[in-house]
Structure 1
Amino acid sequence: MSMTWQPMQPADLDAVMAIAAVVHVGFYERRDVFAERLALYPQGCWIARVEGGAGQAVGYAFMHPALLGQPPALDSFLEALDPQANCLYLHDVALLPAARSAGLGRALMQQLSMLMEKDGLAHAALVAVHGSAPYWRSRGFEVLADAPPALHAKLRSYDEHALYMIKPA
């Protein structure tokens, strides 16, 4: 079964919420938070679908420009993109179990790299949850060394094990 990333549309938000309920138990974000990300930076919002047939949604990803070391708190609005943004923040990625090992992670990293280059951003960043840091390390991300106390406080909005990770362009 072949799967691919496609640009997200507002009509995909129901699928996003259904996937989030399965993949991100304990990390709830309101639909309006996802809708805002889609409205602010649609080129960074992707839906993964099974190719052919009904095109069932099996995953999603939200990325947007941000300031390095300053991720948004979980379930918070941005209101606007920061004009001083210097990194591409991978806000959320979720794949249903059936979609894992289908090459979607590799393809998403290509999308991330293309957006970083297009927007002139020197780093990518994310918050690793669910013990996902080893996966992100395999994709070139490392935990930000000497993170400021304010970042540690913000990470607690995710959970006590959340890690802020960065990757150079």
Structure 2
Amino acid sequence: MVSDAPFVRGMRADDLDAVLAIQLAYYGAGFVEDGALIARRLAAAPHTGWVAEHEGGVRAYLAGYPSVVGKLTPLHGEFEVAEQPDSLYLHDLAVDPDASGLGLGPLLVRHAWAHAAQAGWRHSTLVSVQSSVGFWLRQGYAATQPAGTGQQARLATYPGESAYMIRRLG
């Protein structure tokens, strides 16, 4: 029997096809990152990638990694897992448009925060893209300017409107 209640579990390599389909449907071609890159990211940070399942299928995903406040990942960049992290960097959250309105995005974000808190990380950071700032503000994040020209250059790799954002956990 398939449960009607959405649930979160760790992302696995066999989820890649579903993740890529959701990514394309959610973001459009300008933001699509290829399957090989996503697989490398999952291998680099296997405990900070999650999917939300509903009605027997993957309907949303969230990919992040242990990081330090102030460090951004450029679009199409590799995850640079910090040796001594103080934050969980959320690189990619996407919900299948057919599952919109089910609360899967916030469900995944809360799950990620719980993981980060358990690890002792005090912050969560991200780059907001495609007019998603309002969503992230509702989740308690605040926009801030990345420090240094190197991090500002990483932010500039995202087309259109983007913002570096941070949230204190706990």
Please give the TM-score of this superposition, normalised by the length of structure 1: 0.89
SS of residue matched to 1:74: coil
Contact 2:53 2:60 (8 Å CA) reproduced: yes
Between Structure 1 and Structure 2, how many residues are aligned? 165
CA–CA distance in 2 between the matches of 1:36 and 1:120? Answer: 25
CA–CA distance in 1 between the matches of 2:69 and 2:90? Answer: 12
Contact 1:49 1:59 (8 Å CA) reproduced: yes
1:36 to 12, 16, 40: 40
What stretches of structure 1 move > 6 A for 4+ residues in a row? none
* 1:4 equivalent in structure 2: 7
* 1:98 equivalent in structure 2: 98
* 1:86 equivalent in structure 2: 86
The superposition leaves residues 140-163 of structure 1 with CA deviations (integer Å, 9 ceiling, x where unpaired) of 000014643332211111124110
Contact 2:5 2:54 (8 Å CA) reproduced: yes
Contact 1:61 1:92 (8 Å CA) reproduced: yes
- Give the AA of the match of 2:91: H
The superposition leaves residues 33-66 of structure 1 with CA deviations (integer Å, 9 ceiling, x where unpaired) of 2112211222211122223xxx122111101111
Give the 5 Å matches for 1:117-136: 117-136=117-136
* 1:61 equivalent in structure 2: 62
Structure 1 pair 157–56 and aligned structure 2 pair: CA distance change class (3 A):
same
Quote the offset at 1:136 in angstroms: 0.3
SS of residue matched to 2:40: helix
Contact 1:2 1:102 (8 Å CA) reproduced: no
Please give the TM-score of this superposition, normalised by the length of structure 2: 0.88
Deviates further, 58-67 or 1-10? 1-10
CA–CA distance in 1 between the matches of 2:60 and 2:105? Answer: 10
* 2:50 equivalent in structure 1: 46
Contact 2:146 2:164 (8 Å CA) reproduced: no
- Give the AA of the match of 1:44: T
Identity over aligned pairs, percent = 32
- Give the AA of the match of 2:138: S
SS of residue matched to 2:59: strand
Answering whether residue 124 of structure 2 is matched by residue 151 of structure 1, we say no
CA–CA distance in 2 between the matches of 1:77 and 1:87? Answer: 17
CA–CA distance in 2 between the matches of 1:142 and 1:13? Answer: 31
* 1:164 equivalent in structure 2: 164
Structure 1 pair 160–106 and aligned structure 2 pair: CA distance change class (3 A):
closer
* 1:71 equivalent in structure 2: 72
Runs of 5+ in structure 1 lacking a partner? none
CA RMSD of aligned residues (A): 1.7
CA–CA distance in 2 between the matches of 1:3 and 1:98? Answer: 14
